[in-house]
Amino acid sequence: MAEKDLQLFLTKVEQLNAFVALSQRDLGLGEALRNCADHQAVVALALQHGFAIGRRWGEGPGAAEPEQPQPANLLVGQCPDSGQEYKQRLVETPGLWLERIHSCSYSGSWQDQPFSEWLTLLRGSAELAFSGPDERVLLSQGDQLLIEPHRRHRVVATDPAPGTLWLALFWGADP
């Protein structure tokens, strides 16, 4: 499996797991999920809560996901379960996309992205690790950082509830 396909698959699994966890915590959402008549209704419900689960493995960004107005306030939203993060694509054009990321006591795996990433913290704090050369970066609300393509990095830790809110802009090769 190509790295790009693996990352698409892992992102979808992550989104599915986060949506299921939220539906188990939020009784109203759980009931709405039980009342969905078909797959598209589930996809639409998930998207209303910021989860992109409609894309099939191997399809490009935005595939099989209906249009939905974005929330007016980026700071509003349910905190993910401890150890999890939610990603919501806010804007997307070929070679450029913007994501809102909500992390809660999250620690991620090493990343080697073929694209550039600029990020800023809207709320909370985070620690990132870089390799080659080894470096640790502590970020707090309002801090920003540019990660060049193929700069190996990972999220070491983010804040517990209410979590860390990121705004991340990506450009270059599509994921």
Is the pLDDT at 172 greater than 80? The verdict is yes
More confident position, 78 or 57: 78
pLDDT number for residue 24: 87
More confident position, 66 or 42: 42
| Conformation bin of residue 170: beta by default, left when phi > 0, alpha when psi is -120 to 50 | beta
Strand 144-147 to strand 115-123: parallel, antiparallel, or no bridges (unpaired)?
antiparallel
pLDDT number for residue 14: 78
In angstroms, the Cα distances linking 84 to 1, 77, 111, 145 are 25, 14, 16, 22
* Structural domains in the chain, sorted by start: 1-68 (no CATH), 70-175 (2.60.120.10)
More confident position, 65 or 51: 51
As beta bridge partners, residue 136 has 129
pLDDT number for residue 98: 95
Q: What angle do CA 167, 156, 143 make, to 5 degrees?
A: 35
Distance CA(92)–CA(99), nearest Å, equals 9
pLDDT band at residue 54 using 50, 70 and 90 as cut-offs:
low
Mean pLDDT, the chain, as a whole number?
83
More confident position, 171 or 6: 171
Of 5-14, 45-54, 90-99, the one with minimum mean pLDDT is: 45-54
Of 13-22, 48-57, 85-94, 100-109, the one with minimum mean pLDDT is: 48-57
Distance CA(132)–CA(149), nearest Å, equals 13
Share of the chain above pLDDT 90, in %: 48
- pTM value is 0.61
